[in-house]
Amino acid sequence: MSNIFDLSGTVAVVTGANTGIGQAIAVALAEAGADIAAVGRTPAQETVEKVRALGRRAEIVSADLSTIEPVGRIVAETVETLGGLDILVNNAGIIRRADSVDFTEADWDAVIDTNLKSVFFLSQAAGRHMLARGRGKIINIASMLTFQGGIRVPSYTASKSGVGGLTKLLANEWSAKGINVNGIAPGYIATNNTAALQADETRNRQIVERIPAGRWGKPSDLGGAAVFLASSASDYVDGHILAVDGGWLAR
């Protein structure tokens, strides 16, 4: 029986691949057989080295996704250097915190531009390539705040809610044309971005008590979900947001 999770011969673009969740997903896809275009504002040298150590090809694509300027180049460089584009993981994102009554237009625009606008236009650019070939997988990294409201992160909540809607819209348009579009919603994952929460004894205790699994997630906990959604195992999964949250939403 063939391995339906095998990604051999595929090429994946992973944005925000230099650390944390992006790096873990890139490595997991490589372990399953994919070659990786590691996209980031900061060169993802460590990620590329990890992928190459697995015997897979990997290339750095430097791009600042605070604007849509690089989206066409990301696709073009990936196709040119790695020979194709089969999987897109939209992981790059930022967050700004302030009380809603004090939240600035600059912080609103910065988060929406990176987390939502660039996600759509990079999906569009990759989608054109995939549609021409009649196959492809797009995985958007959503959030618990795709489902919940959060506190003091209005633009982040709006952007991740938008990612959920965009995932469904693209699935509606492209599923019959061979493109699966889905999302992963991470729960509380121990990364550099959550270091302050982990260091706050009271907040850390409150978070862990709320998670049925009783622990923070690791970036590697997202790898299996990413491989599933990137592989032929998910060929009849469309417009779904898969929560990888230790049971947070079930509480």
DSSP secondary structure letter of residue 235: T
| 3-state class percentages of the chain: helix first, strand second, coil last, to nearest 5 | 50, 15, 35
CA distance 88 to 79: 12
* In-domain check, residue 251: no
Q: Which residue type sits at 69?
A: E
**Exactly one of 13, 74, 156, 179 is catalytic; which is it?**
156
Q: What torsion, rounded to 10 degrees, do the Cα atoms 230, 156, 240, 8 define?
A: 0
pLDDT per residue over 155-201, tens digit each?
999 999 999 999 999 999 999 999 999 999 999 999 987 888 899 99
* In-domain check, residue 167: yes
* In-domain check, residue 1: no
Least confident interval from 64-68, 75-79, 185-189, 193-197: 193-197
- 169 contact partners, CB below 8 Å, separation of at least 6: none
Residue 86 domain boundaries = 11-244
* In-domain check, residue 5: no
Cβ neighbour number for residue 237 with a 10 Å cutoff: 16
Whose tokens are 């990936």? That residue is 78
Does the annotation mark 188 as catalytic? no
What mean pLDDT is predicted for residues 2-8? 94
Give the full edge-to-edge strand order of the sheet including 87-90: 58-62, 35-40, 11-15, 87-90, 136-141, 179-186, 241-244
Instruction: Give the pLDDT of residue 2.
Output: 75
138 to 14, 35, 71, 84, 105: CA distances (angstroms) = 10, 15, 15, 14, 30
Spatial CA neighbour of 217 closest among 243, 250, 240, 183: 243
Count of structural domains within the chain: 1
Whose tokens are 């990079």? That residue is 122
**What is the domain-level CATH number for residue 125?**
3.40.50.720
* In-domain check, residue 238: yes
* In-domain check, residue 250: no
The two three-digit tokens of residue 115, written as one number: 């987390």
* In-domain check, residue 2: no
pLDDT per residue over 82-93, tens digit each?
999 999 999 999
Instruction: Give the pLDDT of residue 1.
Output: 47
* In-domain check, residue 115: yes
Question: For the chain, how far is it from start to end, CA to CA, in angstroms?
Answer: 38
Residue 26 has pLDDT above 90, yes or no: yes
Instruction: Give the pLDDT of residue 41.
Output: 95
